[in-house]
Amino acid sequence: MPTRSTPTPEPWDAARVLKLAAQSMFDLFDQSSQGMLLVDRSARVVWISDGYRRLLPALGFARQEDFIGHPVAEVVPNTMLHRVLETGRPILADLLTNHAGTFLVSRLPLRDESGAVIGALGVVLMDRSDAPDGDTMQPLIEKFARLRSELEDARAQLAAQRRPKHTIASFIGGSAAALEVKRQARRVALTDATVLLRGETGTGKELLAQAIHAASPRASRPFVGVNIAAVPESLLEAEFFGVAPGAYTGADRKGRDGKFKLADGGTLFLDEIGDMPLALQSKLLRALQEREVEPLGSNRVLPVDVRVIAATSRDLAAMVEQGQFRADLYYRLNVVPIVLPPLRERVADLEALAEALLEDISRRSGLPVRSLAPDALEVLTAHDWPGNIRELRNVLEQAALMHDELLLHAAQLPPLRPPLGSPPGAPHEHAPAGAAVPGVQPLPDLLADVERRAIRSALEATGGNRAAAAKLLKMSRAALYDRLARYPDLEQVK
């Protein structure tokens, strides 16, 4: 008896089964999911299921006509369907979060007979709000939402720490010197130009840097400062440019962003730039010119967009002449120089400064606000303040914390620092205002007068030709420009 064999299906039968299977899977997705949408190869929405229509109000759409036909990235925030179209690879069981909520989704590429990607299918497997209480995926969605919220809070706190604490109004003073500094700061804040703040220690360079950032179009972006003198030389490069993952033994496996990357889009404040080692100056110059950085141990170059404000208490022009600072970096930083005058050159501002400092000391210590008696103000006005505003704050803080009186007299002030040029250990008693030794001019004032007169004579002799004047004075043009910024009255001399 002949055996009966199972007939081999015709080719059209296999194609039909495959088509039916695809239709069945599609129907299954439609029935078991919260919603589906289709996009074409141009990433435009071409169809949505009935379930997806119920999600439209949460996405901000009243009519499906306002949704279908539009690029999916415009109507579904944070979608990844465009990546599925680009790579041809599915993204399964992913969490999507936008203003409509958190969703469990899958994304599948659609191909034609030749295997080319012709579109993509997005499936909303679960809506957080509609998930049943006992669903095993609900804890995952809730954990994701909680971690995302914590991450946003941490980012907000970090952004608040990097927000400028001072404005131009924080630079207190109504003297001509203070008003000129504020005028220059307001003017340069409107530009993206690099600024070099010069002045003695304690004159308020970091405060002014923050004020310029706060008045600039970058105010909403980070303000990141780094004190070059406070960072060990061996760590400076990593501090500036960052470290790639596993760059060296002991390096963080996740890598670390440098100050340039942290300040991306905002302002990078380089304090005490004169203390930067020569070996690193060339790398800093490249970063400033090319607007890109290369982390340690990485071959990737990262673009950065930062506005640089540098500050120094040293004479950079003299350091250039002595070979201690690169001339090209000096010119790159010294685009807009602003000189902050020492306190002894704007004693008219001392009373207003003292009042503001005493209020801040009271706020930080929780003590009542103190004020200065006329004799105390007289003593403070007579002092030459080698430590500038930082020294003034120290004196006032000591007096406020050590005495109960709300009105501080000269007797409550601590001993002041000896004047510039005093021998070590020389006593410095509180002296009445205006006390001076007849015929003796302070050495810094004497040197400044001699320098000013010499520059004026050279400019007059050369008809205002600065290059020729610099040769007569036997100094570099950079050094002459530096002095002219210090003595604005010489700018127009011819």
CATH 1.10.10 domain range(s) in the chain: 443-490
Fold of 343-412: Helicase, Ruva Protein; domain 3 (1.10.8)
Task: Give the whole-angstrom CA distance, residue 203 versus residue 386.
Answer: 10
Interval 444-482: pLDDT, tens: 566 777 788 888 888 888 888 888 888 888 887 777 777
Higher per-residue pLDDT: 102 or 42: 42
CA distances from 187 to 206, 211, 331, 336 (A): 18, 12, 20, 10
CA nearest to 453, candidates 489, 482, 428, 485:
489
- Residues whose CB is less than 8 angstroms from the CB of residue 462 and which lie 6 or more positions away in sequence, other chains included: 468, 469, 472
CA nearest to 419, candidates 314, 355, 350, 343:
343
Give the pLDDT of residue 238.
Answer: 86
Side chain identity, residue 134: G
CATH 3.30.450.20 domain range(s) in the chain: 19-136
Lookup: tokens for 207: 């405060």
Tell whether domain 19-136 is in CATH 3.30.450.20: yes
Task: Give the whole-angstrom CA distance, residue 404 versus residue 406.
Answer: 6
CATH number of 168-339: 3.40.50.300
Interval 259-277: pLDDT, tens: 898 999 999 999 999 999 8
- Residues linked to residue 98 through DSSP beta bridges, in sequence order: 101
Helix (H) or strand (E) holding 105: strand 101-111
Interval 54-79: pLDDT, tens: 888 888 898 888 899 999 988 998 88
How many Cα atoms sit within 13 Å of 28 on the Cβ side? Answer: 6
Mean pLDDT lowest for which of 19-28, 70-79, 94-103, 414-423? 414-423
Asked whether the beta carbons of 179 and 348 are under 8 A apart, the reply is: no
- 171 pLDDT above the threshold of 80: yes
Architecture of domain 443-490: Orthogonal Bundle (1.10)
Task: Give the whole-angstrom CA distance, residue 210 versus residue 407.
Answer: 33
Give the pLDDT of residue 325.
Answer: 93
CA distances from 260 to 39, 160, 211 (A): 40, 18, 20
Count CB neighbours of 27 within 10 A: 10
CA nearest to 296, candidates 248, 343, 334:
248
| DSSP result, 415-442 | PPPPPTTPPTT-------TT---TT---
